[in-house]
């Protein structure tokens, strides 16, 4: 099993550019989520999904869009990148949307916005 796979691992963008961070899981997990990790702030929830076709906002959703067309995939879109979005992004999944337990994380995408 590959678990949670994120691509790309590194990305540099110019202000105003758009891009999509990819996330896929092969564990048939209902729950998927995106976090950003910044120094001194811990992991913060951006968006999450409790199943295909269902998404909701987390703690810091502004500037990001998500969709969940399949159980396996949960891409994160930056429509117009800003320097404040420079961060490390992690995708995570869990077996149960209700329990929100034992999140399995991907290896992360390090994003720099110039």
- Where does this chain bind another protein (CB under 8 A)? 4, 40-45, 58-59, 90, 98-108
Query: Which one, 73 or 104, has the nearer CB to another protein?
Result: 104
Partner residues linked to 12 by β-bridges: 112
- CB nearer to another protein: pick between 9 and 80: 9
Q: Tell me the C-alpha distance between 114 and 108, whole Å.
A: 19
Rounded CA separation 9/7 (Å): 5
Supply the DSSP symbol for 31.
Answer: E
In angstroms, what is the minimal distance from the CB of 90 to another protein? Answer: 6
Instruction: State the nearest-atom distance from the C-beta of 87 to another protein, in Å.
Output: 14
């Amino acid at each position: 099993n590959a678990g949670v796979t994120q691509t790309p691992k590194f990305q540099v963008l110019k202000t105003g550019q758009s891009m999509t961070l990819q996330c896929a899981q092969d564990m048939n997990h209902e729950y998927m989520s995106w976090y950003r990790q910044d120094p001194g702030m811990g992991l913060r929830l951006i968006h999450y999904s409790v199943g295909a076709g269902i998404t909701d906002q987390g703690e810091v959703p502004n500037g990001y869009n998500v969709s969940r067309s399949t159980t396996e995939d949960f891409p994160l879109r930056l429509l117009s990148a800003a320097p404040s979005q420079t961060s490390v992004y992690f995708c995570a999944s869990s077996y149960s949307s209700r329990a929100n337990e034992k999140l399995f994380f991907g290896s992360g995408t390090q994003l720099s916005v110039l």
